[in-house]
């Protein structure tokens, strides 16, 4: 495998890891008010992602940085085309992060309610907008021979991109619901299971249509078909496991579903990195947009050293915070794994 192809795979891994790990964070952010009836229950839901959400966002930063360093022409064209959309993503990430920190600063219903809704909206916008942006890579944008985006903001709203954005948003909700089922107890867990059960069919329909649509606009090939089939099969498995009340298995299945959805996109995009709707001659390719061989070699060495350390650290973090989080009433009953206090 060439270094250019290797780094395309690395970029795909970073984006996949982001949606698998941050996907349930987004789902919890959107659902934390829906599965709770009191502020204590909302705090319980938020606390399930409290120790990990900011670490999971690093995958997005690294994914963008890998494109910047490994494929500068791709980065320049894609990010300049979606400049306004990227600004909206940054605003959504900011208000989402601020919501975690500020909602407990003033103990009034209005103040907490405001930050509850900013957390909900910010958590919903990010996967939706990023899904549209990723879908545009394969659906195609107007790009000229100089790799310049020649369209307008309206051209970014491709039907395929919008479908992928909606698919990733709903999958994040399903992923978050299964995570809450796995990490909480009592009424929050019961309601989370109910939300997951209601999201099964919409998720399955969205993923199956996405898989079929992806194959119709790509070049085909057995390995592309297999890549597109993975999220569809995983969605069926998730439906079975959710119906059976298997919390751990359900969460694993939704992780494969959302991760497979991203992998299917990159698998069907290769060897292009960005399709031109003007003419296929203007497509940006892996080889045509990659950095120099020396730069890619240095990046490979650095990644080989740092990436395993990051994985070990994140794995350790999840192990440390693996216990269920319960409400104070359940804690008084001696619920296993219950924290001594509940942070905001």
- For 171-197, what is each residue's pLDDT tens digit? 999 999 999 999 998 899 999 999 999
Confirm whether 81 is domain-assigned. Answer: yes
Confidence label for 324 from pLDDT (cuts 50, 70 and 90): confident
Confirm whether 340 is domain-assigned. Answer: no
pLDDT at 339: 41
pLDDT at 329: 60
Confirm whether 311 is domain-assigned. Answer: yes
Q: Which domain holds residue 243?
A: 3-332
- DSSP secondary structure of 279-320: -GGG-EEHHHH---HHHHHHHHHHHHHHHHHHHHHHHHHHHH
pLDDT at 334: 40
Angle at Cα 139 formed by Cα 269 and Cα 88, nearest 5°? 105
Domain count, the chain: 1
Confidence label for 210 from pLDDT (cuts 50, 70 and 90): very high
Q: What is the mean pLDDT of the chain?
A: 90
Confirm whether 171 is domain-assigned. Answer: yes
Confirm whether 283 is domain-assigned. Answer: yes
CA distances from 78 to 75, 182, 209, 214, 281 (A): 5, 37, 25, 20, 17
Confirm whether 337 is domain-assigned. Answer: no
pLDDT at 83: 87
């Amino acid at each position: 495998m060439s270094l250019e192809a290797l780094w395309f795979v690395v970029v795909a891994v970073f984006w996949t890891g982001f949606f698998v790990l941050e996907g349930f964070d987004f789902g919890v952010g959107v659902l934390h008010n829906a599965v709770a009836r009191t502020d204590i229950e909302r705090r319980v839901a938020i606390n399930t992602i409290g120790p990990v959400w900011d670490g999971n966002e690093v995958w997005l930063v690294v994914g963008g940085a890998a494109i910047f360093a490994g494929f500068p022409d791709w980065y320049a064209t894609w990010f300049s085309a979606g400049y306004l959309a990227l600004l909206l993503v940054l605003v959504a990430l900011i208000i989402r992060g601020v919501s975690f920190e500020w909602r407990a600063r003033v103990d009034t219903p209005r103040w907490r309610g405001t930050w509850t809704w900013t957390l909900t909206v910010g958590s919903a916008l990010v996967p939706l907008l990023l899904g549209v942006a990723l879908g545009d890579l394969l659906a195609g944008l107007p790009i000229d021979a100089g790799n310049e985006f020649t369209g307008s903001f309206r051209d970014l709203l491709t039907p395929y991109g919008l479908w992928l954005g909606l698919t990733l948003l709903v999958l994040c909700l399903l992923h978050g619901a299964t995570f809450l089922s796995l990490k909480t107890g009592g009424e929050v867990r019961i309601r989370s299971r109910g939300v997951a059960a209601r999201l099964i069919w919409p998720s399955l329909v969205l993923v199956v249509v996405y898989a079929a649509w992806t194959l119709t606009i790509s070049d085909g090939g057995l390995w592309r078909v297999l890549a597109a089939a993975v999220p569809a099969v995983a969605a069926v498995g998730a439906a079975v496991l959710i119906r059976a009340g298997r919390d751990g298995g359900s969460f694993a299945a939704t992780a494969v579903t959302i991760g497979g959805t991203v992998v299917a996109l990159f698998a069907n995009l290769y060897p292009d990195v960005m399709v031109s709707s003007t003419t296929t001659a203007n497509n940006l390719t892996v080889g045509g947009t990659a950095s120099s061989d020396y730069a890619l070699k240095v990046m490979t060495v650095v990644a080989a050293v740092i990436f395993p350390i990051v994985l070990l650290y994140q794995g350790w973090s999840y192990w440390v915070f693996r216990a269920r989080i319960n409400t104070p009433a359940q804690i008084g009953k001696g619920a296993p794994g219950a924290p001594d206090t509940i942070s905001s």
